[in-house]
Amino acid sequence: MVRFWSPGAGRGLVWESGMALLEPAVTDEQAERVWRVAREENRLGSFLQALMEATGSGLLELPAFAVVIDADDVQHFAVRGPLTIRIEADGPVSVSGEAVTTWEEKQVRGATFVELSAPGAAPRTLPIVAGVVDAARLAWGEPADVAEAAGEAELAAPPEPVAQPEPVAPPEPVAPPEPEPQAPPEPEPARPARALPEPTGSTTLPPENTAASSYDHLWNDESVIDDGEVAVAADHARELKYGETVAEEDEEVAVGSGGGGLVLASFCSRGHPNPPQRATCYACDAPVAGPPRQVPRPQLGWLDIGGEKVPLTGPVVAGRNPNSRALPGDAAPRLVALPHHHISSNHLAFVLEGWSVLVRDLGSRNGSFLRRHGEPPVRLPERDFPLIAGDIIDLGHSVFINLERIP
């Protein structure tokens, strides 16, 4: 399907099975990194992880974006910030991320027109196959109002013939007056002959300029990283998003017990809710199918603290002497006491956003460290940081918090 873009200050990313519009603060280098991952990994989770890694931002600090990914005639949309997605399938749909903490998601089957736009996008449009451009609008297909207008024009009756005016007889020709005789002009003096200079040097035309266009790197083979680098980047993005989920047979997923609003969920054959982008259930590995629908957020796994399991159904504050005022928000957090002298009173917090579990160090004296399989430990920042199943929070002196069965 033909894609179009309108020039602007944002970053437009177009690949074979999707396109994305990013806010102007995203640099060209960051946009290209996201584009490379998106064209290899056709999943929303991979796009979001690539955007987070490229911009060095947390899940709640992502730049504004609008993205559509087409997979098996199902279009997956997500938008964050002051951008808008316009969709036409069975009827017109508009999705905005203006008042959303993380992002708004939607899935549509058989869309005939898609538009990603920033406020005040210029009406001028240009075709594009693939690449990264400075844009304020991306679109594919043709909007219904344009198609209907074209159809109506074709079916319209031909215009009534216009009556031609009656011919008017031309006036009688008038003979021009005879010219008065004039004296012949005096001849100009003859100019002396001058020899032409002999040609010097070669008369061969210079070759045409064959310098490559400054945009050629977006399409030619030189800009494509080798397969090994692509595979490593794709595997890394997939591991960070989904992780290793190992569940015991006697544990069931608590549906609708998470509180804190609704999420868009798809279901496996056993009825477990899942993030719409998953192909298999994170709880039982059964295939996930069917159209997604809004449901109360389910429990998003457990915190295992010294053998005690704390269900992730809402915010949690852990520390030597935690209190609910340590975490702003309307929902009262669950307080978990860690009676160790090196632990700060309010050491760290876990919060839920959509399907994501985030951890935040609360300015603890000795810090909190994330241990993720296959990677060196990193100190957690004092901002929200996304977690995956199997992550371990190391608080020092053999105090660990294990994350289990996160979607």
- Give 378-388 pLDDT, tens digit per residue: 999 888 899 99
Write down how long the chain is: 407
Q: Are residues 314 and 269 in the same domain?
A: no
Tokens in use for 166? 């009656």
Residue 189, in any domain of the structure:
no
Q: Are residues 20 and 120 in the same domain?
A: yes
Q: Is the pLDDT of residue 267 over 70?
A: yes
Q: Is the pLDDT of residue 263 over 70?
A: yes
Q: What CATH number should be reported for the domain holding residue 389?
A: 2.60.200.20
Residue 288, in any domain of the structure:
yes
Residue 102, in any domain of the structure:
yes
Q: Are residues 308 and 381 in the same domain?
A: yes
In this structure, the number of other CB atoms found within 10 A of the CB of residue 384 comes to 21
Q: Are residues 351 and 367 in the same domain?
A: yes
Q: What percent of the chain has pLDDT over 90?
A: 41
pLDDT of residue 261: 76
CB 380 within 8 A of CB 368: yes
For residue 208, what pLDDT band results from cuts at 50, 70 and 90?
A: very low
Instruction: Write down the mean pLDDT value for the chain.
Output: 76
CB 342 within 8 A of CB 396: yes
Position 222, amino acid: E
Using CA atoms, how far apart are residues 190 and 153, in angstroms rounded to an integer? 69
Residue 161, in any domain of the structure:
no
pLDDT of residue 255: 47
Tokens in use for 405? 């069965």
For residue 226, what pLDDT band results from cuts at 50, 70 and 90?
A: very low
Q: Are residues 130 and 10 in the same domain?
A: yes
Q: Is the pLDDT of residue 127 over 90?
A: yes
CB 369 within 8 A of CB 358: no
Closest by alpha carbon to 264, among 232, 297, 312, 306? 297
Q: Is 298 exposed, middle or buried (0-12, 13-18, 19+ CB in 10 A)?
A: buried
Residue 365, in any domain of the structure:
yes
Taking CA atoms, 187 is separated from 9, 184, 190, 191, in Å, by 69, 9, 9, 12
Greater confidence (236 vs 215) lies with 236
Greater confidence (362 vs 328) lies with 362
pLDDT of residue 9: 93
Q: Are residues 271 and 366 in the same domain?
A: no
Residue labelled with tokens 């490593």? 232
Q: Are residues 88 and 41 in the same domain?
A: yes
Greater confidence (328 vs 63) lies with 63
Instruction: Summarize pLDDT for 64-107 with one digit per residue, the tens.
Output: 999 999 887 788 899 999 999 999 988 888 888 887 777 888 88
Residue 166, in any domain of the structure:
no
Q: Is the pLDDT of residue 241 over 70?
A: no
CB 70 within 8 A of CB 17: yes
For residue 336, what pLDDT band results from cuts at 50, 70 and 90?
A: very high
For residue 167, what pLDDT band results from cuts at 50, 70 and 90?
A: low
- Which phi and psi (to 5°) does residue 6 adopt? -115, 130
Closest by alpha carbon to 46, among 64, 56, 27, 33? 33
Residue 159, in any domain of the structure:
no
370-374, long-range: CB < 8 A, 24+ apart: 370/394, 373/244, 374/239
Q: What is the mean pLDDT of residues 144-151?
A: 46
Q: pTM for the complete prediction?
A: 0.46
Q: Is the pLDDT of residue 247 over 60?
A: no
pLDDT of residue 169: 53
Using CA atoms, how far apart are residues 317 and 401, in angstroms rounded to an integer? 12
For residue 175, what pLDDT band results from cuts at 50, 70 and 90?
A: low
Out of 146-155, 286-295, 333-342, which region has the weakest mean confidence (pLDDT)?
146-155
pLDDT of residue 352: 93
Query: Which residues is 289 bridged to in the sheet?
Result: 267
For residue 231, what pLDDT band results from cuts at 50, 70 and 90?
A: very low
Domain carrying residue 388? 302-404
Out of 27-31, 81-85, 254-258, which region has the weakest mean confidence (pLDDT)?
254-258
Q: Are residues 287 and 398 in the same domain?
A: no
Q: What is the mean pLDDT of residues 14-33?
A: 94
Exposure string of 348-359, with b = 16+ CB inside 10 Å and e = fewer, is bbbbbbbbbbbb
Number of domains in the chain: 3
For residue 298, what pLDDT band results from cuts at 50, 70 and 90?
A: very high
pLDDT of residue 312: 95
Residue labelled with tokens 């844009």? 135
Out of 188-197, 281-290, 329-338, which region has the weakest mean confidence (pLDDT)?
188-197
Using CA atoms, how far apart are residues 271 and 95, in angstroms rounded to an integer? 28
Residue 204, in any domain of the structure:
no
